[in-house]
Amino acid sequence: MSLLTFVARYNSLRRIHSPQQENTTMNNSDLADKLGAEAGVTKVDAKKAVDAIFAAIAEAATAGEEISLNGFGKFKVKDSAAREGRNPSTGETIQIAASKKLTFAPAKAIKDRLNA
């Protein structure tokens, strides 16, 4: 076995067994499945509820409102001013337009759970 083959096999095995490489992303479907199981509703109804919650948050943010969820955190719309930047491939100076960003600040209870 050549050194390159050994290194490739070692790296692929390390990725499979590494706890840092586990899929730790929860998507809308996963969230709906968990909600359905905990609330005792069908997955279809849970998916509708999850979609409705995110739609309401997006609608409120679009209107410039702050969304405060007790014990979870706050979503806020922040303005980002126009600024000068650089194109990384050419180094040319470019103008970056002003924009709005949605930020999230976790509640103290969530911060405490993360850092327990």
pLDDT digits (tens, 9 = 90+) for 10-57: 555 555 554 555 668 999 999 999 999 999 999 999 999 999 999 999
Record the tokens describing residue 85, joined without a space: 């930047």
Q: Is residue 4 part of a domain?
A: no
Q: For residue 106, how many other CB atoms are within 10 A of its CB?
A: 13
Domain that holds residue 46: 26-65
In this prediction, residue 79 carries a pLDDT of 94
In the chain, how many domains are there?
A: 2
Identify the CA nearest to 85 among candidates 69, 101, 97: 97
With respect to residue 48, please indicate whether it lies within any of the assigned structural domains: yes
Residues 60 and 70 placed together within one structural domain of the fold: no
Has residue 16 been placed in a domain?
no
Domain identity same for 78 and 111: yes
| Model pLDDT, residue 19 | 53
Q: CATH number of the domain at 74, please.
A: 4.10.520.10
Identify whether 11 is part of a domain: no
Q: pLDDT tens, 65-106?
A: 999 999 999 999 999 999 999 999 999 999 999 999 999 999
- Kindly state whether residues 78 and 115 are assigned to the same domain: yes
Largest Cα separation within the chain, whole Å, is 62
